[in-house]
Structure 1
Amino acid sequence: MDTLNISQCPEVTVKCFLLLRLLFAIEEQGTTSEIPLNRAKNRERVVYVSAIALKLAATWDETPQAIAAQLAEILKPLCCPDFAVQVAPSGIIELELTDAGLAFWLQRLAQIPLPVPEYRTLSPVISADRLFPIQYSHARCCSLLRMADRDRLIAIAQPNVTTAPQIWSLAAPNPIPWVDEGDRRLLLVAPAERSLISELIAVLDGLSPVFEANQPEKPVNYFKLANSLSAAFQTFYSQCRIWGEVKTEQPKLAQARLGLILATQSLLRFILEELLNAMAPIEL
């Protein structure tokens, strides 16, 4: 394991990135163990928590707090600057995705196609009426992106397509302005923006068994993941403007919001076409 940051990692999901680094931290101490890692229930922040120190306390003959502190010191150079690593008084290790980390992960999701797994279990056939809201959200994403390209808010490299692309590459802006150039804070702070970001990360993590070499122990509910992402997008779309005053006075915010739409379109298309064996229409 090297100390390359998240921008150079080959892992597909955030959870997988962290699991591998936690595994390295444990192996550094001469121990291997199954690693508990879960997302904290917080829609405003992307925080993962691990109780691995509590699990190891019985065999390491140390307090959970001491073990967690040791592991945190190993994790910090492996995760910095993309994750803030902290130890709670109980011995729980907390890993929060920083604004820099979020900006990278969103850019990656928006502009790099997800790998099509060699082995995957396709979903059972879903009725058209149940799929329609998800397909509508995908088509709405495509419509907004094409409109933004026409209005020169963004420049899509190849906008004139007859079918939904695997991913729409942006000629400009590249990279998408996710963070403020001054204080390097994420521009997307509205509740609906944060909720959509949280859902994007959660859905991607939910698909992690799809990208693993081994078949998952239990099937992944692709429809449920896509439906949750679709609902979060619809809330974002109804509450977060792109045109009007936002386009005129805060063009970088408008572009960051379009980046979220591009990431959503990419992930919805992947689930619809590659996992649900359904169409991902660019218009309805």
Structure 2
Amino acid sequence: MLQIRLSQSLCLQGDFGKASYISRRISTDGGLQDFRLIPAEIPFKRVRDASRILYSTAIAHKLAARSSLTPAQITGYILNSVSNNTLKLQDIGAFVSLSETASKTLLEPLLQDGTFQATHSGLIQVELSDRAIAGWLNWIIHQWGAGQLWEKGEGWQVNIARMDRRHGERTERWKNCEAETFAMQQTYARCCSLLQMAHREGVITLSQPDAAPALWQFMVPAWIPWLDGNIQLRLSHPSERSLIGQFFKVLDATGDGSSQRSWNDCFCLAQQVCQGFQAFHRDRPIWHNIIEQSFDLAHAQFGLVMVTQRVLYHLLNQLMNISTPSEL
């Protein structure tokens, strides 16, 4: 999903955003060259890095193959366009089918705080700022609650269901991975339990605490303090960063409805999220921060618990049709 947004945002940099393609002329050696690209032609790939959310694209190489320009020249042009961007957020939002609020929450941090840089090989790398990461964490909490799906996520779910009905694979899968599935459900239930306990102790206040967990939202704190006064994520421990990295892996894997992800893909993603949460829960005892009166950090960590709950609900319940009981 984030890879798609990056591609669409890059298409709209500077003044060359058109309704469905890039149309931009680059002057070189007295000649003009016309490049037309749709966002799907600008693939972003996640760079493996445990501490950062980093993506790269070889778009300059794709354009260089159509012209006499070198990848380095095209990369320089694109980065210059990014740095001089004056595009209005509402124009971006209309292009990527986002509301004005969502555009401000998700795309403004990406365009303003995302770090764009070139590598020696002509790749363009984009590192998400902590403010952008916080925006996506909030997005997950609000969008993956109440049974909402991605724009194309529903089609993916239908494809999995049809595959299971046609081949009778689902029953066999359950037989082969019943223990692992129960462990995932247990992790989901643990998230619910932690949030309910914090609500009872008055550390946080949940809206509709007696409703389904997918409907829970934070009332206190009114806004999760992901960032400190220096606009840096409070969640800086390796276990916290690793878990956040798993969330973005799920965002990337489940955002494109045209991708025919298998049931096993969803299963592996859920397992990795559960393992990441278990490491976070082991290494970062939240109640210790409350005793030490580090309430902002504790609230951010409970936010991480709710994001974990939402991601597991999305994978297990919405995409894999596995029940997600709040108690086991």
2:98 is matched with which residue? Answer: none
Range 116-125 or range 29-38, more displaced: 116-125
Q: 1:160 aligns with which of 210, 218, 229?
A: 210
**Secondary structure, aligned partner of 1:42:** coil
1:154 Cα offset (Å): 1.0
1:253 is matched with which residue? Answer: 297
Q: 2:52 aligns with which of 42, 45, 54?
A: 45
Superposed counterparts of 1:119-158, under 5 Å = 119=155, 120=157, 121-122=159-160, 124=164, 125=170, 126-127=173-174, 128-158=178-208
In 1, Cα distance between equivalents of 2:246 and 2:262 = 20
Q: Which residue identity lines up with residue 142 of structure 2 in the other structure?
A: Q
In 1, Cα distance between equivalents of 2:183 and 2:238 = 22
1:140 Cα offset (Å): 0.5
In 1, Cα distance between equivalents of 2:291 and 2:6 = 37
**Secondary structure, aligned partner of 1:189:** coil
Conserved? CA contact 2:58–2:122, under 8 Å = yes
Conserved? CA contact 1:54–1:91, under 8 Å = yes
1:36 Cα offset (Å): 2.7
Q: Which residue identity lines up with residue 150 of structure 1 in the other structure?
A: R
Conserved? CA contact 1:122–1:277, under 8 Å = no
In 2, Cα distance between equivalents of 1:257 and 1:174 = 15
Q: Which residue identity lines up with residue 32 of structure 1 in the other structure?
A: L
Q: Which residue identity lines up with residue 201 of structure 1 in the other structure?
A: F
In 2, Cα distance between equivalents of 1:49 and 1:81 = 18
1:192 Cα offset (Å): 0.2
1:111 Cα offset (Å): 2.9
- Larger helix fraction of residues: 2
Using a 3 Å threshold, how does the CA distance of structure 1 residues 216 and 80 change in structure 2: closer, same or farther?
closer
In 1, Cα distance between equivalents of 2:204 and 2:77 = 46
1:218 Cα offset (Å): 5.3
Q: Residue 27 in 1 paired to residue 32 in 2? A: no
What percentage of aligned pairs have identical amino acids? 33
Q: 2:2 aligns with which of 5, 8, 14?
A: 14
Q: Residue 223 in 1 paired to residue 267 in 2? A: yes
1:134-176 C-alpha deviation (Å, 9 max, x unpaired): 1111001001111111122211011123xx4324111111210
Shift >4 Å, 4+ stretches: none
In 2, Cα distance between equivalents of 1:188 and 1:222 = 26
Using a 3 Å threshold, how does the CA distance of structure 1 residues 273 and 88 change in structure 2: closer, same or farther?
same
Conserved? CA contact 2:289–2:297, under 8 Å = no
TM-score computed with the length of structure 1 as normaliser: 0.86
Q: Which structure carries more relative contact order (alpha carbon 8 Å, separation 6+)?
A: 1
**Secondary structure, aligned partner of 1:158:** coil
Superposed counterparts of 1:1-284, under 5 Å = 13-24=1-12, 27-29=22-24, 30-32=35-37, 34-76=41-83, 77=85, 79-113=110-144, 115-116=148-149, 117-119=153-155, 120=157, 121-122=159-160, 124=164, 125=170, 126-127=173-174, 128-161=178-211, 164-180=212-228, 182-209=229-256, 212=257, 215-217=258-260, 219=262, 221-284=265-328
In 2, Cα distance between equivalents of 1:96 and 1:206 = 18
**Secondary structure, aligned partner of 2:116:** strand
Range 64-73 or range 263-272, more displaced: 64-73
Q: Which residue identity lines up with residue 168 of structure 1 in the other structure?
A: W
Using a 3 Å threshold, how does the CA distance of structure 1 residues 218 and 135 change in structure 2: closer, same or farther?
closer
Conserved? CA contact 2:23–2:37, under 8 Å = no
Q: Which residue identity lines up with residue 293 of structure 2 in the other structure?
A: E
1:200-242 C-alpha deviation (Å, 9 max, x unpaired): 1111111112xx3xx4355461111111111111111111111
TM-score computed with the length of structure 2 as normaliser: 0.75
Range 16-25 or range 138-147, more displaced: 16-25
1:28 Cα offset (Å): 4.0
RMSD of Structure 2 on Structure 1 (CA): 2.0
In 1, Cα distance between equivalents of 2:253 and 2:291 = 34
1:246 Cα offset (Å): 4.3
